[in-house]
Amino acid sequence: MPESKYIFSLKEWEKKASSELGGNPSSSANWKTLEDIAIKMLYTSEDLEKLSYSETLPGLSPFIRGPHATMYSGRKWTIRQYAGFSTAKESNKFYRENLAAGQKGLSVAFDLATHRGYDSDHQRVLGDVGKAGVAIDSVEDMKILFDQIPLDQMSVSMTMNGAVLPILASYIVTAEEQGVKQEQLSGTIQNDILKEFMVRNTYIYPPSPSIRIAGDIIEYVSTYMPRYNSVSISGYHLQEAGATAVQELAFSLGNGLEYVRTAINRGMEIDSFAPRLSFFFGIGMNFFMEIAKLRAARFLWNKLIQEFNPKKVESSMLRTHCQTSGWSLTEQDPYNNIVRTTIEALAAVLGGTQSLHTNAFDEALGLPTETSARIARNTQLILQEEAGIPNVIDPFGGSYFMESLSESLIQESAKLLEKVEKLGGMTKAVESGMPKQQIEASAARRQAMIDQGQEVIVGINKYKAENAEPVEVRDIDNTAVREAQIKMLKKIRKNRDQQKVDSFLNALTNAADTGVGNLLGLSINAIRARATVGEVSLALEKVWGRYNAPVQSISGVYAGAFPDQKKISEVRNEIKNFAKKVGRRPRIMVAKMGQDGHDRGAKVIATAFADMGFDVDIAPLFQTPEEVVRQSIENDVHVIGISSLAAGHKTLIEELMKVLRQENSEDIAVVAGGVIPPKDYDFLKSLGVCCIFGPGTAIPDAAREVLMSLKVTH
């Protein structure tokens, strides 16, 4: 289009738009995203002139348009379902049914006891065994998990970081006993421990020895398992904890750089391991931002890897798995989640993911049922087989808006990465607490916008359903699973050569102490001899100890971001009235029990309640009910707030109430929140729980309800 005609057309558009809007739709920003990126109403070819990269093609550096030249027209993305629950036998049955129905790869979810390196008979995992994932105590469980699933043909992804050594070793030994060699195995082990210290918290050891474990795995896998991905650098959990797209990009890419440098410092060549690194991003509801995020990630990773002078093009090619958001799923009106997941899945595909997991619509209530899992899987099959999407490579290439948005993400993420580098890299940044604090602040700001209705969530703060239909929820009998696991453990310990096991475990302890020896190779030896996950973890814990993250909180962010300050003031006045009557402000202990480290909700509640005037104590993670009660008594709290995400609420809260009675402290009120199925509400209230807050509860409303419960009990 000639320049004069284009300018004339633009002026004509502005005139027409102005009359329609009753104002001036100038080229200035109309609104800002959570990332503080200015978004205009209209983009034109002039915006393409501001790009820092020139026109590119799929499969060619800098890979903005995709890592492969033909993308889905040559090979469709892999359909994965992240699943695991109860026993290995139950999960195996679920896997085989899904594979028969069109699923192409497995993504294994482990229970929290396994993540934290505890055997199922450990006293600290009473409410965690078989909840939120499958219980794996030894190679015998792993063999059952993959029974009749040929590991030389099936790509297997395992989300494991804390107990990564015994779990990966168990997978390798399982394959051996199937007759499958290590070099035949394909798939991914997450092995991204740095992000655990930022958000998910399923770590075991301190940061430095944890990085050594990651390095040993990269080295071993690069040598013996050429088809296997040794690290899946995870932005997903950062997003789930509240990170913006900029934070997710900068911190996950920073983590990737740290793993690369760890391998390089061991004398490894970049081309010997970089082609088998992969990423894992979360996909939320900001449709265009999520597409741009994947495009920006490929550009930035390509640029960062050039520092190490790669010779292979694959070394600087970012490949990624994606998962639709779990946080965006709502307990209220849950069938809306089918639409949310579809939108997020479409964004991942249009952004160029290599594999995808779609969450089930009922995961804000509990583990997926067979029905909800089928719908989630069929969502991808419909996108692949009915929508015609694979026929065109990167349809957003050249889009005025998409290219401009990708550029904005590149620039903003590069700025944050530079701050990380100035701190000395991600390990130093994590130790300083900077990433964790930034993510928690973002989560608090967003929650304030949702609670006030500035960010609309259909069915939560707008268009609420008056008569919600009940939804079937999968329920796991935690006690039965634990008893079955303990029975298996006793059998294994009885039938093995204990002297041989002790020898291999001592070798692991010695390697941790001296720094000599590959920890994965030594773990494989121990697992072959039937050492358990807990025993392998303990062998290293003897030297390194268990890491306890410092308890930190932010203040002022929630209240500062809340648009309606009058509503905040009203709650503060009610708290002042309570203080006048009782003699002090209401004091709450916010706690998570068991091995669930997902603390976004707990941290947001803690900072919001503090901003509104409560005295707030935050219990350390991974507490037993006895420890929570003891700390609550010592701190003289009025109320204990239990945050639950991993389905252990029935077992753990029942035990908590029992301990309160034993300590004659039933005057301490107990409230609960998180992912708690509505069908469990009556049970919890029968135990004496005063209030239950499901996902989507506005925090000022929750604060008022807690105050009301205290007026009754005090």
Cβ proximity of 591 and 623 under 8 Å: yes
- 674: which strand partners? 644
What is the rounded radius of gyration, in angstroms, for the C-alpha atoms of the chain? 26
Cβ proximity of 322 and 280 under 8 Å: yes
Q: Could you give the CA distance from residue 468 to residue 358 in angstroms, rounded to a whole number?
A: 24
Query: Does the annotation mark 220 as catalytic?
Result: no
Exactly one of 72, 95, 203, 236 is catalytic; name it: 236
Collapse the DSSP code of 226 into the 3-class scheme (helix H, G, I; strand E, B; otherwise coil) and give the result: coil
Exactly one of 82, 171, 203, 220 is catalytic; name it: 82
Cα separations in angstroms, 410 against 39, 96, 303, 443, 448: 15, 41, 11, 22, 27
Query: Does the annotation mark 82 as catalytic?
Result: yes
Other C-beta atoms lying within 10 Å of the C-beta of residue 339: 12
Beta-sheet pairing, 31-32 with 38-39? antiparallel
Query: Does the annotation mark 419 as catalytic?
Result: no
Query: Does the annotation mark 143 as catalytic?
Result: no
Exactly one of 119, 394, 596, 680 is catalytic; name it: 596
Structure tokens at 132: 């939120």
User: Is the peptide bond prior to 62 cis by the omega test (within 30 degrees of 0)?
Assistant: yes
The DSSP output letter for 200 is I
Dihedral of the alpha carbons of 312, 317, 318, 319, in degrees to the nearest 10: -90
Exactly one of 592, 638, 649, 650 is catalytic; name it: 592
- Residues contacting residue 641 through CB under 8 Å, at least 6 positions apart: 588, 589, 590, 591, 602, 605, 609, 671, 672, 673, 706
Query: Does the annotation mark 6 as catalytic?
Result: no
Strand order of the β-sheet with 669-674 is 615-618, 587-591, 639-644, 669-674, 691-693
Helices marked H in 146-235:
164-178, 193-195, 207-224
Exactly one of 195, 321, 357, 598 is catalytic; name it: 598
- Residues contacting residue 135 through CB under 8 Å, at least 6 positions apart: 86, 87, 88, 110, 111, 113, 114, 120, 129, 141, 481, 482, 485
Query: Does the annotation mark 596 as catalytic?
Result: yes
Exactly one of 237, 293, 321, 357 is catalytic; name it: 237
Catalytic amino acids? 82, 236-237, 592, 596, 598
